[in-house]
Structures are given as C-alpha cells and as structure tokens.
Amino acid sequence: MPPSSPPFAVVIGVDSSTQSTKAAVTDAGTGRLLAVGRAPHSVTGEHGARESDPELWWSALRDAVAAGLKEAGVTPEAVTGIAVAGQQHGLVVLDAQGRPLRPAMLWNDTRAAPQAAALTERLGGARAWLERTGTVPVASMTAAKWQWLRENEPDLAVAAVRLPHDFLTERLCGVALTDPGDASGTCWYSTATGAYDPEVLDLIGLAPELLPALAPGGGSRAGSLTARAAEQLGLPEGIAVGVGTGDNMAAAVGLGLGGAGLLDHPVLSLGTSGTVFAATRARPASEALAGFAAADGTYLPLACTLNCTLAVDRIAELLGLDREDAEPGGEVVLLPYLDGERTPDLPHAAGLLMGLRHATSGRQILGAAYEGAAFTLLRALDELLRACGLDPDAPGAAARPVRLIGGGARGRAWAETVRRLSGRPVLVPEAEELVALGAAALAAGAVSGHDPVAIATAWDTGRGTLLPALPRDLSAWRRLSDALERATPALLS
C-alpha cells in the first residue's frame, strides 16, 4: 500500500555535514521527528588538504530526502518547506552555469594557515579583524582559503563564490542568498555592520558581485522550490525554501537558543570537530573565539577544535579498545591533535603523549585522549564566558549546566570526562539531530513567517536529562594545562 498524506504539514530540515547529509522529516506543528534519511559524503586529501565534490552533496541531499520520506511513510504532497544547514567555512567556486570548478575546500583544510597569518597582518593585526569581522583569520576561515586559491590556482575563471549551504539553497530555489550566521564564518562579513566588509573584500581581491545577497536571517524565505529541483527531489514544486544557515547556528536554533540575555546556555558539541558556543546579545571580541552572528540576528560566539570524537576513536582503534573502555588517565597526558589544531591555533601540530610509566594501562591512555580533547574544549568555554563578561571562576559559576550535544554526547566516557574536568552539571538533550531539527524550524519559519527560535522553543527540542556535577578533578586539569604550556613551542614548529 502506498504511503498516505498525514493530517498535518511536514517540513524537511537538511543537515549537510562533513561526512554525510541527513534529512529530518518533521511535523511542522509539534516538531515530532517522523524520520531521518541519510546519505554519505566522501572527503579526499592529504598533507592538510580536505576536499569534497559539491555535486555529491546535492546527490546526497536527494537520496537523504527520498529515504526520509519513505521511512516516514508520507507522500511528498505533505511537505510544505525545506531548509539547509551546512558545514561552515567551506569554499565553493562556481562557473557561470553554477557548476563547481573544483572540489570544495572544507573547514578542516589547513593549507591556508600561511595565508591566514599574512591576512591578519595586512589588515593591521588581530584587533583590527576583531573590530570589523569579530573573528581573526585562521586556516579554517573562508577568506584564508580564497587567498590560498588565488595564489595557487590563479587561472580559475570563478563566476560565483558560495558556502556549502548557499550552494545547496541556490540549487533548491535558484536564488543566491545567504544569512548572517553562516556568512560570519567567512571573515569577509562584518558583525559590526551586518554587511560584507568592502575593505576586507578589496584586501583579498574578491569582487562583491561574486557573493550571494544577504538575507536578514536564516529563517527568512529564500524562494520557492524550482521545477527542476522538485523533479530531482520528488517534492512539490513551489514549496517554501528557507535561507538556511551554518550547522552551528542551526544547532542553536534547534536548542531554542535566541540570545535573550547576556548568555544563553553554553553548549559543547562533540562531533568530528568539537565546538563550544552560546547565544548572546553581547558582541564579544576575543582572539580565541570566532565572533559569529546567530541565525536570529544576535551573536553566537564559538570556539572550534579540529580533534574531538574522530581523534579519540582513532586512539581507541590503535589500542585495540572499544571507545567506552576508558579510565582516568592518571599521570598520562595525551593532547590528541592528530589533524593539527584550530583552538589553540596550532595548524601544524601532531598528537603528543607524555607521562608514560610501566604501570600505565591502555585504558588510561584512552582516558587521557578523552581528557585532552575535553580539556581543549573546556578551556575554550572559559574564554567564551570571559568574552561575554562572565567570570568562569566566580563562586557559583560552575552551577550553570552545560548542554552536551553531537554524536559524542551519547557516550558515557565523554559525559563523565566533561563532568569530571569541568565540575559542572551536564544537560544531554533527548533530540539527537539538533542541526537537522534546527533546519526544520528554519523551514517552518520560512513557511509561516514566524520566528524559528520561538518555533523550536514551542517544539521543546532542547529538553533532556540533567546529569549532576562531579567534584572537579583539578589535578588532571593542572597536568593538562602545564603540558600544553610546555609543549606549545614544539607544536608550533
């Protein structure tokens, strides 16, 4: 029997990440997740290069939507809107027909580290960048990648420059439009003015006509699904297409974070990369943070680490252990910077293991890998709090729960390590697909004209389990701090 249309409207939120695309088929009224379709991506490159073919993202989006609709058991006619949340910072260059000229350089491509350092100096140093864009260039940022491309592939006839989510949104509705959230990860968008920065564009030789127009927010309506896209996706022509946003901004929407106060619920996201972010109405300025805009027009200061669950899983694989076979590291310190590191800014670093004894067990080494990754994130959280005017060491400061999201949030070892090193309670939301659910709220906003954060709050997608605080392991924290301080000169070389 063919699927039948449900007695409610459906929206689709797309999470196009580094490794895969997920399409969350969602009840627009309640936020109930009906199904999640999935399709993999491929990433290539070595010696710092990380690239993907954008056409594969489109194919994966098509396959994920089809799988999600089939699993949900609903007809395409029930779908009223779609929006995309994409991995940040990726550089997509197109020809005049909208076709990719080369594979996209991804966020974790570290080849542009020299260009990032040079750009920082050419504008007048870190403080000048913070005042303009809110973020100091590092290898991850799109401006540095564009500069690398100009220097290394100067003959490319580039007709358009897009971020990953922009590329997919344009394929859906034929309109070149982006939002402040994802645009703020380029270093050519100014969070001070809410527009592209003409001096930065001139500095990097990027003509503004190559860029998509700026929408007021990720919940705006970019346009309508074109006939061609509708045919390829098997969806009704003319449904609403949301502007969409970056993946971190969508996760904040999915949690119902809207920058209502000085700081709204700090979040640790444990995925391939690790991120720390919070919604705020304060415009922070710190060299250790990316001063992003949020999808709703407020701010989303964020720190990102390159090495999180993937690095720890690799250590477990090398030791022949399951990822949950971890014990506290004791005297062992492991800084798992297997892909270089972004926070702290050590693009050429490698993993570093110290403090081995005859009595050291493999489980302790694995536990030390968890500790090194969690320490790096929690250290960034302290900087985020300071940048927003809060003292992380003030009496009672540790009572504020941290929300733990991403694939690692379901792991016992991750949650216990974060609790032990931070001394904070941890809230683990029930929803597992917060980026996709945030994109679904953006799609619902594009359909209805309502605030996507308010929609997600009404859906109650941020509810979860509160794990009480553990006594803080200050000795482990000090060991890690001392090890990083001693090792940094070597890691920089």
3-class SS of residue 442: helix
Q: Give the active site residues.
A: 247
Residue of 348, 284, 335 whose CA lies nearest to 308: 335
Query: Binding site for substrate: residue ranges?
Result: 88-89
Instruction: Output the DSSP codes for 115-176.
Output: HHHHHHHHTTSHHHHHHHTSS---TTSHHHHHHHHHHH-TT----EEE-HHHHHHHHHHS--
Query: Binding site: residue ranges?
Result: 88-89
3-class SS of residue 301: strand
Instruction: Output the DSSP codes for 353-388.
Output: EE---TT--HHHHHHHHHHHHHHHHHHHHHHHHHHT
Residue of 472, 488, 483, 474 whose CA lies nearest to 332: 483
Residues 205 and 155: beta-carbon distance below 8 Å: no
Residue 357, both tokens: 């004894």
Residue of 425, 369, 431 whose CA lies nearest to 400: 425
Helices (H) and strands (E) in the chain, counts: 15, 24
Residue of 364, 377, 361, 463 whose CA lies nearest to 415: 377
Report how far apart, in Å, the C-alpha atoms of 457 and of each of 86, 87, 257, 407 are: 22, 23, 8, 22
CB atoms within 10 A of CB 197: 22
